């Protein structure tokens, strides 16, 4: 059965800290891995990763994929209170409808 | 950038009534729209995938007669929760454009 596992499930840090969120997966027909940030409403897209070893970066956020070990990490440096959210990892499986398998998310709280 | 507009953002209805949720793609054509449900502190659960001009593909365990999906145009997909019951109370979200863009979500409460 396809599955995506995120860790930790929750994390509390202080502003300025650096955090690393983990996402491991076991799927057949891997196509891509996506990271999203979810605050109170619907998720917003962060990154899509398809190749191993190529870091994607956007401001203080970065992510990398390891297709051999079947995991990805999302790094956030110099965290701010506005980074508080649930970070979701999803793996797209190849097929007609490009289905996503979702992790449960990591709930990040950044305290001032 | 691409925007998916979802309405209403929240709705309260009585048991037994039906509720329609709309998702519109504002500046692109959405051939495919994904409909999700999310319960508190849980991840997104795919309910169905709608394709413009054809029948939706429902995930296992999702009743197609209860959750009616219509995708009659390239810019509009609708989800109708028929004969809603309290257990249908949830957060419903649509996404399009290879799931890079999500609607704002609809919080449905059935009383």
Q: What is the pLDDT of residues A1-21, one digit of tens each?
A: 889 999 999 999 999 999 999
Question: CB distance A42–B100 less than 8 Å?
Answer: no
Q: Which residue has the tokens 């390239």?
A: B74
Question: CB distance A42–B102 less than 8 Å?
Answer: yes
pLDDT (0 to 100) of residue A5: 96
Who has greater pLDDT, A52 or B72? Answer: A52
Nearest chain A alpha carbon to B50: A97
Q: How far apart are CA A67 and CA A25, in angstroms?
A: 10
Measured in angstroms, the CA of B12 and the nearest CA of chain A are apart by 17
What is the rounded average pLDDT for all residues in chain A?
Answer: 93
**Radius of gyration of chain B measured on its C-alpha atoms:** 13
pLDDT (0 to 100) of residue A111: 96
- CA dihedral of A20, A25, A31, A37, whole degrees rounded to 10: -40
Q: B82 and chain A: CB distance < 8 Å anywhere?
A: no
Question: CB distance A88–B43 less than 8 Å?
Answer: yes
Question: CB distance B100–A48 less than 8 Å?
Answer: yes
A35: left (phi over 0), alpha (psi -120 to 50) or beta: beta
pLDDT (0 to 100) of residue B83: 96
pLDDT (0 to 100) of residue B89: 96
DSSP assignment of A71-89 = EEEEEE-S--GGG-EEEEE
Residue B49 DSSP code: E
Do β-strands A56-58 and A71-76 pair in parallel, antiparallel, or remain unpaired?
unpaired
Q: How far apart are CA A53 and CA B95, in angstroms?
A: 28
Confidence of residue A42 (pLDDT cuts 50, 70, 90): confident
Contacts of B16 by beta carbon, 8 Å cutoff, 6+ apart: B83, B84, B85
Measured in angstroms, the CA of A69 and the nearest CA of chain B are apart by 24
pLDDT (0 to 100) of residue A91: 94
A96: pLDDT strictly greater than 70: no
pLDDT (0 to 100) of residue B30: 85
Q: Which residues pair with B65 in a beta bridge?
A: none
pLDDT (0 to 100) of residue B2: 62
Residues (pLDDT < 50) of chain B are: none
Question: CB distance A45–B103 less than 8 Å?
Answer: no
Q: How far apart are CA A107 and CA A59, in angstroms?
A: 20
Do β-strands B19-25 and A10-14 pair in parallel, antiparallel, or remain unpaired?
unpaired
End-to-end CA, chain B: 37
Q: What percent of chain A has pLDDT over 70?
A: 98
Q: B62 and chain A: CB distance < 8 Å anywhere?
A: no
């Amino acid at each position: 059965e396809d599955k995506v596992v995120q860790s930790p499930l929750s994390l509390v840090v202080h502003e300025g800290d650096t955090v690393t969120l983990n996402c491991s997966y076991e799927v057949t027909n891997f196509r891509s891995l996506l990271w999203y940030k979810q605050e109170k409403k619907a998720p917003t897209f962060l990154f899509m990763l398809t190749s191993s070893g190529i870091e994607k970066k956007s401001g203080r956020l970065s992510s990398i994929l390891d297709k051999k070990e079947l995991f990805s990490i999302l790094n956030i440096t110099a965290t701010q209170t506005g980074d508080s959210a649930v970070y979701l990892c999803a793996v797209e499986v190849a097929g007609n409808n490009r289905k996503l398998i979702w992790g449960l998310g990591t709930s990040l709280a950044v305290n001032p | 950038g691409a925007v998916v507009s979802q309405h209403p953002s929240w709705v309260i209805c009585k048991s037994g009534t039906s509720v329609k949720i709309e998702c519109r793609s504002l500046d692109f054509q959405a051939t495919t729209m994904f409909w999700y449900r999310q319960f508190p502190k849980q991840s997104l659960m795919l309910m169905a995938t709608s394709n413009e001009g054809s029948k939706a593909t429902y995930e296992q365990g999702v009743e197609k007669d209860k959750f009616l999906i219509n995708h009659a145009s390239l810019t509009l997909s609708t989800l109708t929760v028929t004969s809603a019951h309290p257990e249908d109370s949830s957060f419903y979200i649509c996404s399009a454009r290879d799931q890079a863009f999500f609607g704002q979500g609809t919080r449905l409460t059935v009383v």
